[in-house]
């Protein structure tokens, strides 16, 4: 049961037709939030929105490829016309396309494709929605990051992340962490909270379901950060490892 204290708020979750994004959308809707479920595939996105809607849950599919500026602009227009503001933005869309490729074999094209979604896509969507976020009395932005983007952990040979060796993915999440800090600082005066979440090693399509955590567990931190109250933390990187409690992840 929830107290639905966030009824009337409006959220956008990118890449939300499956996995952590879908579960995040479901839980935000259960709190009374109107959720725009962003996704590239119209058929799968519409089905996900229908499956999550009902029992007073308001979930609406929004065609959104984060690498397509025209779709981003149209998404802003739709949300603006319907509500005039955005209270929650969850930048969940992400790709990891280099599994099984040695670091010294990763191509420039693989780097470009990864950064287009994981970095440039976040900038494109966030920048486009900042005017609507500024109209919220207490807006929150959540960036889905990873321990693989922590330079502190990657620099420690005793850490497990050093053995993974995903050049494009890891470096894109390091860049995303930097974006988080820079946006948090720039938007602090507007009362917009910007935080990064490391959901842990969750079994999703992104890693061929090799993770140890469930999707439900992976959505815990993104949802928590999305529902922060005014005056909450900003510019932080929170995470969880396996079944351990919440922790601050080093940059």
Going from the C-alpha of 35 to that of each of 3, 8, 28, 29, the distances in angstroms are 17, 10, 7, 6
CB burial string 129-158: b at 16+ within 10 A, e below: bbebbeebeebbbbbbbbbbbbeebbeeee
Of 17, 22, 25, 19, the C-alpha closest to 226 is 25
Residues tagged active-site: 169
DSSP-derived 3-state class of residue 138: coil
- Torsion 101-103-108-112 (CA) sign: positive
Ordered alpha helix ranges (H), the chain: 19-30, 42-52, 69-83, 108-115, 121-134, 151-154, 167-187, 215-218, 220-226
């Amino acid at each position: 049961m929830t107290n639905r204290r966030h009824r009337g708020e409006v959220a956008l979750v990118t890449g939300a037709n499956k996995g952590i994004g879908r579960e995040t959308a479901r839980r935000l809707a259960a709190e009374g939030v109107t959720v725009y479920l962003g996704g590239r595939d119209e058929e799968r996105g519409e089905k996900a929105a229908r499956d999550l809607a009902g029992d007073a849950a308001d979930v609406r599919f929004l065609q959104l490829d984060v690498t397509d500026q025209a779709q981003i602009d149209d998404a802003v227009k739709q949300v603006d016309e319907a509500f005039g503001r955005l209270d929650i933005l969850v930048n969940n869309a992400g790709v990891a396309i280099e599994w099984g490729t040695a670091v010294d074999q990763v191509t420039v094209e693989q780097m470009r494709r990864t950064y287009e979604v994981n970095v440039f896509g976040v900038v494109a969507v966030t920048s486009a929605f900042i005017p609507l976020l500024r109209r919220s009395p207490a807006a929150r932005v959540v960036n889905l990051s990873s321990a693989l983007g922590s330079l502190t952990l990657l620099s420690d040979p005793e850490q497990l992340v050093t053995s993974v060796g995903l050049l494009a993915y890891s470096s894109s999440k390091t860049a995303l962490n930097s974006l988080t800090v820079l946006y948090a600082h720039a938007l602090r005066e507007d009362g917009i909270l910007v935080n990064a979440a490391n959901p842990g090693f969750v079994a999703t399509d992104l890693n061929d379901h090799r993770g140890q955590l469930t999707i439900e567990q992976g959505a815990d931190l993104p949802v928590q950060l999305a529902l922060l109250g005014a005056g909450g933390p900003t510019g932080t990187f929170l995470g969880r490892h396996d079944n351990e409690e919440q922790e601050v992840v080093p940059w």
